Amino acid sequence: MRILHRAGLALAFMAAAAAAPAQQQQTIVTIVKVSGIPWFERMEEGVKAFEESSPGVSTRQVGPAEAVAAPQVKLIEEVMARRADAIAIVPTDPAAIEEVAGRALRSGIVVVTHEADNQKNTLADIEAFDNAAFGASLNERMAQCMGRTGKWTSFVGTRGSRTHVQWAEGGAANARKHAGMVLVDALNESHDDADKAYERAKAVLKKHPDIKGFQGSASSDVIGIGRAIEEAGLQGKTCVYGTGLPSRTAKLLESGAVKGIGFWDPKNAGLAMNRVAKLLLDKKPITDGMDLGVPGYGKVTVTKGAGLGVVITGKADVIADKATYRAYPF
């Protein structure tokens, strides 16, 4: 295995971790994009599971009521004021939290992120998989469903959401392989809200009644889009693919309003973030090919990040359809 000590990289982030005050009880707070939605409720299961398996560690998860950057920044500041030892952040907009994350690092708090491989002020960003490839894989399935011809569009939670844009751009790159596919009104924003995705999907259908494909990014996108498709009676004429949880999309997969979903288990992502935060708190090395002891993160790839930290990439992606989604009970 290769330990990333080149150019002082590991020394830099290990020094930051060492600056955290030594305490008998370590506190790790996970700060998500939005509270109260199934995706992050599932992630909280992983956060709690980590605490149960880690003596001397206290964990909790918090998130704003809306997937908006400003209240998430405020939450980070509140957690900093309470002197958590580590914070694990799923940023709504990585750029929007750079300043506050930098302050957290300078104060000695370990910062770990998820879905933000462009984050500079983090010691480690955890990615479930290669994001461009994930978006391309969803898009190729949509393309096959469409007969590789016709109009299609993409949805994101926000245009500042790093992974959502990466998936949409990966999809667009794949679609360009098929001369008959036409991307219209790209990057519709849903703000991780199924009702907003529904309203936006209705507007797209009104503007483009002949549209054949929708690719969603936020876990709520396919819920709102699928609802609009059902209301319009277009289950057999439109191909909807996107990120989603099996439990939430089951009825839409069964009706045909949604053809397929891509996902990773948020519980395991929560576990992975907290495990990496603990490694950094304990000044343990982050090594290429290491096993985090979490499904999907058994032989991770470790590369230099955008700033002083590293990007840790797993192989946790799953794509399911009506015939296979029942194998994933969450």
Query: What does pLDDT average to over the chain?
Result: 93
pLDDT-derived band at 58, boundaries 50, 70, 90: very high
CATH number of 2-129+265-316: 3.40.50.2300
Q: How confident is the model at residue 156 (pLDDT cuts 50, 70, 90)?
A: very high
Task: Give dist(CA 90, CA 273) in Å, integer.
Answer: 10
pLDDT at 4: 37
pLDDT confidence band for 6 (50 / 70 / 90) = very low
Lowest model confidence (mean pLDDT) among 17-31, 48-62, 102-116, 155-169: 17-31
pLDDT-derived band at 18 (thresholds 50, 70, 90) equals very low
pLDDT at position 289 is: 98
Provide the pLDDT for residue 219: 96
* Res 50 pLDDT > 70: yes
Strand order across the beta sheet in which 86-89 lies: 57-62, 26-31, 86-89, 110-114, 124-127, 310-313, 301-304
Residue 53 Cα distances to 39, 99, 271, 306, 323, angstroms: 22, 33, 10, 32, 35
Q: What's the pLDDT score for residue 249?
A: 98
pLDDT given for residue 9 in this prediction: 34
- 2-129+265-316 with 131-263: one CATH topology? yes
pLDDT range class, residue 10, cuts 50, 70, 90: very low
pLDDT in tens, 80-111: 999 999 999 999 999 999 999 999 999 999 99
Minimal CA–CA distance to 95: which of 160, 30, 191, 168?
160
Which of 75, 80, 122, 69 has the alpha carbon at shortest distance from 277? 122
Contact 109, 147 (CB under 8 A): no
Q: Which CATH class is domain 131-263?
A: alpha beta
Kindly indicate the confidence band of residue 17, based on its pLDDT and cuts at 50, 70 and 90. Answer: very low
Per-residue pLDDT tens digits for 241-293:
999 999 999 999 999 999 999 999 999 999 999 999 999 999 999 999 999 99
What is the predicted pLDDT for the residue at 104?
98
Cα Rg, the chain, nearest whole Å: 20
Query: Given this model, what pLDDT does residue 327 score?
Result: 96
> Measured between alpha carbons, how far is 1 from 200 in angstroms, rounded to an integer?
48
Question: What is the pLDDT, as a whole number, of residue 264?
Answer: 98
Give me the torsion for CA of 144, 135, 70, 101, rounded to 10°: 170
Residue 13 has pLDDT above 90, yes or no: no
pLDDT in tens, 187-233: 999 999 999 999 999 999 999 999 999 999 999 999 999 999 999 99
**What is the pLDDT, as a whole number, of residue 297?**
98
Tell me the domain boundaries of the chain: 2-129+265-316, 131-263
